[in-house]
Amino acid sequence: MRCLVTGASGQLGSYLVARLLRSDVEVAILVRPQSDLWRLAEVLDQVTVIRADLSDVTVAANAISQLKPETVFHLAWQGVTSGFKNDPEQLTLNVTGSLKLFEIVRSAGCHLWVGVGSQAEYGPHDATLTEDMPVHPVTAYGLAKLCVGLLTKKLCELSEMRYVWMRLLATYGPKDDERHLLPSVIRRLLNAERPSLTSAEQVWDYLYVEDAAEAVYRAAVSEQARGVFNLGSGEAQSMRSVLERVRDLIDRSLSLGFGELPYPPDQMSRLETSIDRLRSATGWTPRLSLDEGLRRTVAWYSAHN
């Protein structure tokens, strides 16, 4: 299998690249011209690097055409942190860039499109997420993900390509974006600082990043996997419990500043999903427990502090 991975310099993308290489897959990556590829340092000599921004992906058309990827994993996205959830470029840049990319890879002979969407496509829900739930995104980010998912689904149908769209909840683990909650709290605790936090009463589904990469890989190689799949651990935990476990792995005597920060206006109190459809189609199930995943995460940050 020849494949192209966009967004390969990110946390999930880097783990997916490593998983593909372990199966002797021919891998090319599409990354921004300015991207720091530190997450890929150990495997960089095994991949073909194509540099182009999603907003100007046509500059990479010739290189992609020469590659002739059979499978495309589309993870690239501009504005994934909370400050950009309602940036207008979510709709202009990401949607148009993704559609241009699709046309390039379709013309190059791609047979399988695997896109990574988001739980934000559903909007707020108090129930466990399932793939047949109505979608009501309330942010530009969620709407843009939904648009790309729906449009590429129809384009795949018209082009007789297999289509997989994975609505990811939340990953954690080594090499995470330092702006995210868990790495931020871990860094502070490793430096014996007290992190200021909300009351952390929300219930969240966290999936270890290596398990997430395995799920994306399994969906690609399982011919019966078609359509939309929710991607999570299938087991939600209270955020307070997760943060306390992280603290205990570092130093039980350290203090956590619960209640020192207000919840943001759009804070979701519950985020969990069923993974029955994905498990049925691929046989995949998460390998690591939350406790073991947190232990590995803290160990990595301790070694890189």
Question: What topology is assigned to 173-205+234-272+288-303 in CATH?
Answer: UDP-galactose 4-epimerase; domain 1 (3.90.25)
Q: Assess whether pLDDT exceeds 90 at residue 5.
A: yes
For the stretch 52-57, contacts whose Cβ atoms lie closer than 8 Å and that sit 24 or more positions apart, written own/partner, are 53/97, 54/6, 54/78, 54/93, 54/94, 54/97, 54/98, 54/101, 55/93, 55/97, 57/30, 57/97, 57/100, 57/101, 57/104
- The stretches of 23-82 forming alpha helices (DSSP H) are 61-67
**Residue-wise pLDDT tens digits, 123-144:** 988 899 999 999 999 999 999 9
User: CATH 3.90.25.10 occupies which residues in the chain?
Assistant: 173-205+234-272+288-303
**Residue-wise pLDDT tens digits, 185-223:** 999 999 999 999 999 999 999 999 999 999 999 999 999
Average confidence score pLDDT of the chain: 95
User: CATH 3.40.50.720 occupies which residues in the chain?
Assistant: 2-170+209-231
**218 HSE (CA, 13 A, CB side):** 17
What architecture (CATH level 2) is domain 2-170+209-231? 3-Layer(aba) Sandwich (3.40)
- Using only C-alpha atoms, the chain has a radius of gyration, in whole angstroms, of 19
**Residue-wise pLDDT tens digits, 229-278:** 999 999 999 999 999 999 999 999 999 999 999 998 877 889 999 999 99
**Residue-wise pLDDT tens digits, 81-112:** 666 788 888 888 899 999 999 999 999 999 99
pLDDT at 202: 93
Q: Assess whether pLDDT exceeds 90 at residue 228.
A: yes
Nearest to 198 by CA among 153, 139, 265, 148: 265
pLDDT at 87: 81
How far is 19 from 24, CA to CA, in rounded Å?
9
Angle at 142 between CA 140 and CA 263, to 5 degrees: 85
pLDDT at 82: 65
